[in-house]
Amino acid sequence: MPFMISKPMRFGDCDLTGIAYHPAYLSMLVDVNEAMFASFGVTWKELMFERHLGLPSVKMTIEFKKPAVYGDVLDFNVHVRKIGKSSLDLYTVVKVGEDVIWTIEQLIVMTSTKDHKSHPWPDDCRAGLERYHHPELAA
């Protein structure tokens, strides 16, 4: 099963042509990434401030398929494609109803905020991420 969460298109997420301002999509994605970790009991606050670990994205490939408009509800479906030693390969499909609005492939690396080097996944993160693991989707 993917991790699933819905986000409304807010007034402030739209540009003056009435469709989504694409940087707002990336801001929603940060919330979605954070919510996925919270779903298995790991808060980013604790990761950052107590364990001194961060989760920077190192690569993103985004496809915008159809425009979304004010009032649409975006359904995020986050698939874990691969869990490496300290990396995470996510594939997220964002829909409004049955229509695919945008998709993103995202490579994240768990990183120490002390020396900015990669850091192996802690056991609780790895176990949590396994819930959403779909190895058949790996590129």
Write down the least CB distance from residue 134 to a second copy, Å: 22
Q: Which stretch binds a second copy (CB under 8 A): 15-23, 73-81, 89-97, 124-132?
A: 15-23
Q: Is 5 in the site for a second copy (CB under 8 A)?
A: no
Measuring CA to CA, which residue among 20, 107, 106, 104 is closest to residue 62?
104
* Minimum gap (Å) between residue 59 Cβ and a second copy: 5
Q: Site residues for a second copy, window 93-122 (CB under 8 A)?
A: 113, 116
DSSP-assigned letters across all residues of 56-82: -EEEEEEEE-S--BTT-EEEEEEEEEE
Kindly tell me which of 63 and 124 has the beta carbon lying closer to a second copy. Answer: 63
Number of residues that bind a second copy (CB under 8 A): 37
Binding of residue 83 to a second copy (CB under 8 A): no
Q: List residues binding a second copy (CB under 8 A).
A: 10-12, 14-19, 21-24, 26-27, 30-31, 34, 43-45, 48, 54, 56-64, 67, 70-71, 113, 116
